[in-house]
A and B are shown apart, each in its own frame.
Chain A
Amino acid sequence: MDKPTQPVADVVGVSKRFGATLALDDVQLAVAPGEVHALVGRNGAGKSTLVTILTGLAAPDSGTVHFGGAPAPPLGDRLAWRQVVACVYQKLTIIPGLSVAENLFLNRQAPAGKIIGWSALRRQARDLLDAWALDVDPRVPAGELNVEQRQLLEIARALSFGARFIILDEPTARLDAGGIARLFERIRALQNQGVTFLFISHHLQEIFELCQRVTVFRDARHIVTAPIDDISHTALVEAMTGEPVSEMSDPRPPRPDAASPVLEVNGLTAGEQCHDVSFEVGAGEIVGLAGAGASGKFAVADSIAGFVRPDDGTIRVDGRPLRPGSVPRALHAGVGVVPRDRHREGFVGGLSIAENTTMTVPHRLGRHGFASPRQRTALGRAAIRTLDIVPTRPEAAVADLSGGNQQKVVMARALADQPHVLVLMAPTLGVDVKSKQAVMDQAVVAARGGAGVLLVTDDLDDLRYCHRVLVMFRGEIVATMTGTWDDREVVAAMEGVDLSHD
Chain B
Amino acid sequence: MAPPKAETRDDYKYFLNLQTRWMDNDLYGHVNNVTYYSYFDTVVNYFLIEKGGLDIHKASIIGVVVESHCNFSRSVAYPDMIECGLRVGHLGNSSVRYEVGIFKSGETIASAAGHFVHVFVDRESNTPVAIPKEIRDAMSGIVAEAKS
* A and B interact: no
